[in-house]
């Protein structure tokens, strides 16, 4: 393997243990081939040196000495070697030189840029001395190399410009002398033509590493930090942000342009010109692959790279009042701000330059605004130009992707993601390179905006955050299926479902990091009790869910009033997946308002399991309606529970025994009367009727219960089952009478849109006698069937048939709804 250049930042050599760790990593890398090492100053040493220089310039000699003594102590401790090691004498000698320099500054009571650069140089010189000594003590030949011996610069102190040609020639001359030991090079430093010390500005040590790599023809530059690579977003804002494995030079430059401190444009230039890759690696996770930056980037050409957020900014707005009047806004604004040394992060203008928006740091906003008033004073006075305004704080949000120019609808997806959560975009801009697109949002929307864009462009293995309401038969089975499928979903779909909480009527278990779906019962027992009368899903719980990635409220209850909870969820940016039929069968106007709330907030609301468990009933009907087919009649056994009971009764099983068996199998609602009343089937039929566009309410359903209404008044389940035993002979007689006439009894629903014209009920639900060849007569167990008679399916109806009840199939339908919801978000 050819030579590699390893650069260690200040935090990576900030203490004795970290120096030891860096030395260990250097030694490991050296076993793979030759290495050259570049180091920054240890920890906060540069800050201490700056403080010492400021104190000396004030004439505070004692303060300067104290800061210098702290630097000396940190350097001795950072080496981590015995007191008799020769390196300590070298450190003392360097610190004595520093002390004399500071004393001279205190006498003059000022520090020039040149003297400040010399003072700062002691940080890297002490660090390189210590790291080299530690390597030698561990048995690895190493020598400290002062970069000032080869980095040739001009005399712009503090931000010197490197003479690339002369620097390369000097490295070529010196490098042969480094072959017998690992060179540990001071980063950040250079030398002016007159021999004075210079510094290279921000990311100066990285620049030293890339200069060295170019001159030595290195195979790779490794930047060792305390993070495992370049993240898809700021992990402080996005929990699911993850380190990229690869990106292009161009993408790195875009990140540098928009404030990413890990890169600086000039750092990348030597690499771009030589084609040498850079790899960001972590001293804390050395086995992680890190992020490789090269000409090629990721293999996934259609995927965005990352989303950045430059906060604490201000947006200046200036507009021409008289359209067509030329006042050269952009030219004059840019010139004025540049002359005042106000940084401009983004400038955007309307067609013909009639309006301009400028993003500047929040700290410079007042100065910039005053400058605009002065620059356009005459035009403002004449009424040609509106008075400039400022909006702050704002955040400059940028999506970076090499594939930006090759992929359609990138801007649409970006603004769709933001609009979907109600974030207002104040200004937009896109680079000519088409590697990035930026927009300005209000500062208070930063976290929400970054998360939405990150999720909208699938920048991570997608976390789906689920809050489950209801842990009965369906809810508990859903948790089991999530636990069983987690690995498969991650591997095949890149999805990471996290159960943030489980809530019931009596207890609540909430953990943003995730409740183990295989141990939910224990978590619920250890959770907090719900006080009598207290809502299970409080605003605070919903707020907590809303802060999570891709939040989904899953309702597996049969609770009343959940439509109000859904509306609050939609308003907070939470999606809803429900097996609960009741919110869809509230009065028509209220149901329509609920769906409108979901649409207004661009939230998903999926409820396939409200009609046919996991059968695709609603999806099929929606497809028929949306493709223009006309529904003439829908009939079917909408209730797998009542289908099971009808079949059992037909075989001679007494009514009470059949209901007990259905309840034990998980086919019934928590109270079986909700099934036997026919109300559950009526609700399902009403849901379908409304999907057809029919404006009906529950009271419009011609409903006949399976058992007399008087029995349904019993609230106690055991008492209800006892009453069914008394009614069983009457029910058996009805079944036998139908059989004597060649009929079977099935509990069916019909939706006939034309019935109203005949002054008949459009929706009928109740026990029905059918011939032996009717589809309902052939049902087995808890099967449900729905027949769609339409204009296209006129001769033979379209049938949907299968298990229509049961915890496992219903839970599978709920999970499928969650996954379809996420798939819709990913494709959007």
Cβ neighbour number for residue 88 with a 10 Å cutoff: 17
Question: What tokens appear for 197 in the block?
Answer: 């010390």
748 membership: H or E segment, kind and range: strand 743-751
Strands 4-8 and 35-39, bridge-based pairing: parallel
| Displacement of CA 711 from its chain's centroid (Å) | 52
**CA distances (Å), 659 to each of 30, 655, 663, 754, in order?**
75, 6, 6, 35
Strand, coil or helix: what is 661?
helix
User: Which of 749, 738, 741, 828 minimizes the C-alpha distance to 784?
Assistant: 749
CA 384, CA 319: separation in Å to the nearest integer? 9
Furthest C-alpha separation in the chain: 119
User: Which of 151, 278, 174, 280 minimizes the C-alpha distance to 219?
Assistant: 278
Residue 7 bears catalytic tag:
no
Question: What tokens appear for 657 in the block?
Answer: 């025994």
CA 438, CA 430: separation in Å to the nearest integer? 6
**CA distances (Å), 153 to each of 35, 125, 183, 751, in order?**
25, 18, 21, 85
User: Which of 567, 237, 603, 553 minimizes the C-alpha distance to 421?
Assistant: 603
Q: Is the dihedral of CA 662, 663, 665, 668 positive or negative?
A: positive
Q: What angle do CA 652, 658, 664 make, to 5 degrees?
A: 150
CA 272, CA 335: separation in Å to the nearest integer? 31
Q: In sequence order, which residues have a C-beta less than 8 Å from that of residue 643 and are 6 or more positions away? A: 637, 746, 747, 776, 779, 781, 782, 783, 784, 804, 805
Strand, coil or helix: what is 344?
coil
Which position has the token pair 């459009």? 762
Among the options 7, 581, 582, 684, which is catalytic? 684
User: Which of 579, 569, 578 minimizes the C-alpha distance to 602?
Assistant: 569
Strand, coil or helix: what is 503?
strand
Question: What tokens appear for 57 in the block?
Answer: 């310039």
**CA distances (Å), 113 to each of 51, 67, 713, 788, in order?**
15, 19, 90, 84
CA 390, CA 392: separation in Å to the nearest integer? 6
Question: What tokens appear for 264 in the block?
Answer: 């600086």
Q: Which residues are catalytic?
A: 684
């Amino acid at each position: 393997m050819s030579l590699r250049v390893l650069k260690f930042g200040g935090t990576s050599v900030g203490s004795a243990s970290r120096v030891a760790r860096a030395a260990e990593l250097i030694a490991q890398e050296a076993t793979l081939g030759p290495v050259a090492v570049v180091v920054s100053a240890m920890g906060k040493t540069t800050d201490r040196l700056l403080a010492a220089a400021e104190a000396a310039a004030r004439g505070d000699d004692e303060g300067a000495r104290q800061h210098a003594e702290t630097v000396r102590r940190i350097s001795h401790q950072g080496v981590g070697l015995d007191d008799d090691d020769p390196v300590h004498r070298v450190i003392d000698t360097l610190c004595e030189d520093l002390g004399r320099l500071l004393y001279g500054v205190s006498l003059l009571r000022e520090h020039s840029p040149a003297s400040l650069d010399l003072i700062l140089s002691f940080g890297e010189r002490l660090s390189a001395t210590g790291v080299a000594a530690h390597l030698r003590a561990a048995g690895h030949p190493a020598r400290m190399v002062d970069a000032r011996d080869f980095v040739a610069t001009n005399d712009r102190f503090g931000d010197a410009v490197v003479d690339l040609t002369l620097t390369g020639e000097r490295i070529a001359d010196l490098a042969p002398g480094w072959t017998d030991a690992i060179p540990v090079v001071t980063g950040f430093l250079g030398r002016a033509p007159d021999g004075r010390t210079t510094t290279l500005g921000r990311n100066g040590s990285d620049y030293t590493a890339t200069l060295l790599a170019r001159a030595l023809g290195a195979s790779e530059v490794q930047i060792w930090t305390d993070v495992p690579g370049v993240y898809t977003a700021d992990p402080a804002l996005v929990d699911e942000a993850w380190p990229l494995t690869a990106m292009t030079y161009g993408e790195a430059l875009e990140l540098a342009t928009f404030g990413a401190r890990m890169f600086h444009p000039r750092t990348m230039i030597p690499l771009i010109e030589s084609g040498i890759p850079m790899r960001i690696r972590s001293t804390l996770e050395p086995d992680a692959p890190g992020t490789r930056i090269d000409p090629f980037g990721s293999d996934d050409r259609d995927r965005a790279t990352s989303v950045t957020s430059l906060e604490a900014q201000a947006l200046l707005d200036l507009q021409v009042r008289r359209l067509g009047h030329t006042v050269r806004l952009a030219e004059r604004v840019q010139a004025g701000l540049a002359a005042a040394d106000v940084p401009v992060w983004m400038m955007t203008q309307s067609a013909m330059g009639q309006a301009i928006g400028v993003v500047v740091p929040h700290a410079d906003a007042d100065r910039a605004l005053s400058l605009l008033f002065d620059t356009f004073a005459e035009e403002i006075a004449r009424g040609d130009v509106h008075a400039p305004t400022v909006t702050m704080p704002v955040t400059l949000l940028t999506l970076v992707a090499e594939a930006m120019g090759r992929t359609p609808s990138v801007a649409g997806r970006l603004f769709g993601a933001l609009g979907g959560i109600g974030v207002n975009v104040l200004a937009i801009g896109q680079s000519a390179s088409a590697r990035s697109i930026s927009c300005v949002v209000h500062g208070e929307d930063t976290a929400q905006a970054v998360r939405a864009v990150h999720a909208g462009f699938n920048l991570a293995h997608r976390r789906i955050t689920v809050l489950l309401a209801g842990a009965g038969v369906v809810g508990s089975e859903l948790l089991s299926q999530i636990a069983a499928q987690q690995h498969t979903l991650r591997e095949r779909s890149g999805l990471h479902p996290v159960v943030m909480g489980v809530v019931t009527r009596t207890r609540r278990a909430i953990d943003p990091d995730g409740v183990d779906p295989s141990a939910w019962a224990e978590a619920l027992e250890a959770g907090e009790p719900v006080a009598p009368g207290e809502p299970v899903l409080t605003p605070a719980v919903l707020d907590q869910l809303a802060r999570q990635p891709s939040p989904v409220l899953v309702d597996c209850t049969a609770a009343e009033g959940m439509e109000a909870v859904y509306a609050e969820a939609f308003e907070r940016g939470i999606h809803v997946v429900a097996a609960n039929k009741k919110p869809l069968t509230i009065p028509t106007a209220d149901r329509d308002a609920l769906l409108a709330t979901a649409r207004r907030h661009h939230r998903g609301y999926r409820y396939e399991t409200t009609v046919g468990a996991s059968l695709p009933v609603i999806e099929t009907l929606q497809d028929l309606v949306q493709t223009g087919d006309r529904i003439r009649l829908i009939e079917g056994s909408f209730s797998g529970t009542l289908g099971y009971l009808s079949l059992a009764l037909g075989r001679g099983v007494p009514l009470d025994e059949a209901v007990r068996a259905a309840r034990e199998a998980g086919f019934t609602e928590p109270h079986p009367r909700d099934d036997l009343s026919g109300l559950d089937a009526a609700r399902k039929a009403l849901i379908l009727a409304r999907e057809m566009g029919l404006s009906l309410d529950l009271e419009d359903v011609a409903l006949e219960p399976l058992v007399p209404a008087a029995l349904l008044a019993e609230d106690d389940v055991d008492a209800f089952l006892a009453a069914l035993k008394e009614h069983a002979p009457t029910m058996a007689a009805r079944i036998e009478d139908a059989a004597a006439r060649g009929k079977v009894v099935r509990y069916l629903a019909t939706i006939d849109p034309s019935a109203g014209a005949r002054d008949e009920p459009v929706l009928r639900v109740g026990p029905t006698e059918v011939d032996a060849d009717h589809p309902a007569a052939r049902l087995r167990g808890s099967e449900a069937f729905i027949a769609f008679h339409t204009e296209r399916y006129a001769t033979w109806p379209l049938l949907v048939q299968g298990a229509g009840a049961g915890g496992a199939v219903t839970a599978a339908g709920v999970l499928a709804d969650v996954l379809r919801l996420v798939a819709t978000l990913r494709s959007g």
